Amino acid sequence: MDGNKKDGNKEEGTVKSVNTLAKEMARKLIMQYVDDDVVAKVKSAKSSVRTRPPPDFKSQSLNARPTVTQWKLLDTILEEILVLISPIEGDSAMRKAIIIQLRDLLRSVEGLRSLSVELYGSFVSELYTKWSDMDISVLTIHPTDIDETQHVLRQIYDAMRKDKSGFWYSTELICGARVPIVKGLCKHHQDTSFDVSVNNVKGILKSKFFLWISRIDIRFRPLVLIVKKWAQVHNINSSKDGTLNSYSLCLLVIFHLQTCWPAILPPLQQIYPRNASDDLKGVRSEAEKKIQKIADANIARLRSGSKNTSSISDLLLSFFEKFSDITVKATNLGVCTWTGKWENINDNMRWVLPRKVQLFVEDPFDQPENAARSVSQLDKIADVFKKSSRSLASANDRDAIVRLLAGHTSQYQ
C-alpha cells in the first residue's frame, strides 16, 4: 500500500511538473505571438468567456480609457492635424516642376544627359506632408559601382553649384553614407528639401508597395501621417541621430495594423510571397510589372474589408501602448511585417544580427535587411512611446493634445 501511495505521489508530482512546464511554454508563446492588446483583454475577461476574444473587441490600451468626451475631442483634433499637414492644392504639381527643373539641369551637362530622373519615397507612396523632403533617384543606363555612383553625384553637385539661376542652394555632397546622396533646398518652391541618389531602384519599388498597401485600408495613410508628425515633434525621426527613420516608422504602423485584433492589414507575404528585391532582375520595367501584377491580384482579394472598426484615435492610442515596452521586446524579438508577428531573433535562420543592434525591424521587401539598423537611442524612443501613451489616454485639454501630437498650438487657434 505504502509503495502504491509513493508511486501515486510521484506520478502526481510528475503531472504537476509537466503542467507547470506546459503553462510556462504557453505563456512564452503567447508573449511572442499574441498581440499585447489581446492578452490584456483576455486577462480582464470573465472565466466563462476566456476561450476567445469577443467579436466586437478592438485594440485597447492598458491605460485608463478616455471618456466619450475625450474621444470626441481627440477625433476632432486629429482631423484638424491631418488637414494642416496634408499636401495643399498644387503641391503635387510643384514637386513635379522640381523634377522637370532637375532634368533640364542634367541635359545641360554633357556627362549627365543620358540620366533619367524618378521620384520615390513618401511622394510616390502618397504618405507625404506639405513639408516632406523629396526623394529623387537618377537612373543610369547601366548599373554602377560605388566609385561610379560617387562620380555621378559629384557631377550633379557641381552642376547645381554652377547653375546661375540660384534654384538649387545649400547643396551638400554626402559620399560616406550607406546610400550616397546630394542634398539641398529648392528656391521659389517653399524651400523644399531634396535628396538625390543614384539607381535607387529598390527604394522606388518599396515606395510603390506602400502605395499598394494603402489601398487595402483607408486608415493606413492618415495613421502614418500623424505618427510621422508626432515622431518629428519628439525628435525620434532621424536616423543620423540614432532614432527611427521614416521607413521604419511606416513599418511599425503596418505591424500595428497587422497585430491588432481583428487584424486590419495582412502579413505582407500574402501580398507578395517572395523577397521582392530579389525579383528586380533583368529589364527593370518588366520586372516591376510582374511584381505589381502579383501584388494587385492579391490586394484585390484582400480588400474585402477588416472586421476591425477602430477609429484613428483608438489605433493611435493602442500604437503608443504597443511599443511602450519596446526595449524589453527588442532583446529577443524582431518586428516582422512579412509574417505579421513578432519573431524570435535567435530562432529565425534568416536573421544574422550584429550584437550591437538595439532594434530589428525586418525590411519585408529586402530581406533580411534591418530597416532600423541605425537605431542607437532605443531607450529614448521607448520613453517617448510610454509618455505619449499615458498622456493621450488621460488628456482632456486641447492644447495639451496638440502639443503632444503636432508641437505648436498657435496654428490651431
The per-residue DSSP string of 177-223 comes to SSS-EEEEEETTTTTEEEEEEES-HHHHHHHHHHHHHHTT-TTHHHH
**pLDDT value for 396:** 83
Residues 6 or more apart whose Cβ sits within 8 Å of residue 45: 53, 54
Sequence ranges of the chain with CATH classification 1.10.1410.10: 217-412
The β-bridge relationship of strands 333-336 and 341-344 is antiparallel
**pLDDT value for 412:** 46
Contacts 24+ apart (CB under 8 A), 119-123: 119/95, 120/200, 120/203, 120/204, 120/206, 120/207, 121/203, 121/207, 121/246, 122/207, 122/246, 123/92, 123/95, 123/207
Residues 158 and 167: their CA atoms lie apart, in Å, by: 14
Find the helix packing angle between 378-394 and 398-406, rounded to 10°.
160
**pLDDT value for 53:** 40
Residues 82 and 144: their CA atoms lie apart, in Å, by: 40
Q: Which fold has domain 91-202?
A: Beta Polymerase; domain 2 (3.30.460)
Is residue 158 classed exposed, middle or buried when 0-12, 13-18 and 19+ CB atoms within 10 A define those classes? middle
| Residue ranges for the chain with pLDDT beneath 50 | 14-16, 18, 22, 26, 28-33, 38-61, 410, 412-413
**pLDDT value for 57:** 35
Between the alpha carbon of residue 58 and those of residues 67, 112, 302, 307, 363, the distances in Å are 16, 54, 20, 10, 27
Sequence ranges of the chain with CATH classification 3.30.460.10: 91-202
Q: Which fold has domain 217-412?
A: Poly(a)-polymerase, middle domain (1.10.1410)
